[in-house]
Amino acid sequence: MLTSHFWSGDAIRSRSVSDVVLSSMLDVPVPTARLLADWQREISARLVLEPGDVEAMPLARTQARWPEYKRCVQAMADWTRALGLSTVLAESDIALMACRGARYHHDGAQYGGAAFCNLFLSDDKGLDVHFPATGHRIPLTRGTAVIFDTGQPHGVIQRRGNGFSAADFPPGQDFNQVFLTWELPIEDAHVRQALGVVFDIADSTSPQLDEEQVLLDGAPAAVCPESGRWYRTE
C-alpha cells in the first residue's frame, strides 16, 4: 500500500496514490522547423541531456516563436474539460520539459500535492512512458496526452524494452522528447474524483512527518531506476 504525505497549506496531509492513468491522442500542430532547431540547440548546448535526464526548457521562447502554441493548450483544455476537470488546467502551473528517456522514478517527494498532466510535442522516437506498477504503457508521439499521480513510479523507455538502460540511448541518435506539463492540484475536487484519490488515510503518521514523501506499507521506500520496482530503504 502506497501513501503520499504532502504539504497542504502549512501541514502534512496523507492520501492514497492513484493507479489511474488517463491518456488520449490529441490533434496538435507540427512544430515549425525553426522551433525544432531551437529546441535542439537548447538540448545539446545548454541542457546536454544524458540518457535518463529530464530537464526544464525555456517556455517563454517557445510561446513567442510558435504562433500555434495556443492550439496545444486549447486541445488540452478541451480534453481535460471533457474528463470532468472543469477549468483546472487554466489555473495550474505549466512548464516546458525535455527528456532523453527517463529513469524510473516518482515525484511524490517534490510534487505530492499534484497530479501531472503532460502533452508530448515531439514525433514518435520509438519510446513509451511506462508505469510498471499499474501495467500502463503508452507510446509517445506528437499529441500524446497523459494525466497521472505524481506518486506513481514511471519511466520513459524503449518500446521494445522491459526496463530502463542507458545503453538503449546511444550518442548520435535522436531520442529527445519535448513536452508541456501542468501541475494539477490533487486536492481539487475534480482532480480527486478523476483519479479516485482518498485523503487522510494515515492521520496517525502525518503529524510526525516534516517533509513530503511516499511510504510503502508505512515505511520509507525508493524506486529502482532500472526496473521501476519499489524497495524498502530502512
Per-residue pLDDT of the chain (234 residues; tens, 9 = 90+): 999 999 999 999 999 999 999 999 999 999 999 999 999 999 999 999 999 999 999 999 999 999 999 999 999 999 999 999 999 999 999 999 999 999 999 999 999 999 999 999 999 999 999 999 999 999 999 999 999 999 999 999 999 899 999 999 999 999 999 999 999 999 999 999 999 999 999 866 555 788 999 999 999 999 999 999 999 997
pTM for the predicted model, two decimal places: 0.96
Paired sense of beta strands 114-120 and 127-131, if any = unpaired
All three cell numbers of 144, joined, read 500524446
Helix (H) or strand (E) holding 157: strand 154-158
Residues in the chain: 234
pLDDT at position 208: 74
Beta strands 54-57 and 93-100, pairing class: antiparallel
pLDDT at 210: 86
CB-neighbour burial class of residue 53 (10 A; exposed 0-12, middle 13-18, buried 19+): middle
Contact 222, 153 (CB under 8 A): no
Q: Which residues, in sequence order, are bridge partners of residue 230?
A: 223
Distance in angstroms (rounded) separating the CA atoms of residues 117 and 188: 14
Domain ranges in the chain are 19-195
Sign for the pseudo-dihedral over CA of 103, 104, 106, 109: negative
Confidence at residue 226, expressed as pLDDT on a 0 to 100 scale: 98
**19-195: CATH superfamily:** Jelly Rolls (2.60.120.10)
What letter represents residue 216's amino acid?
A: L
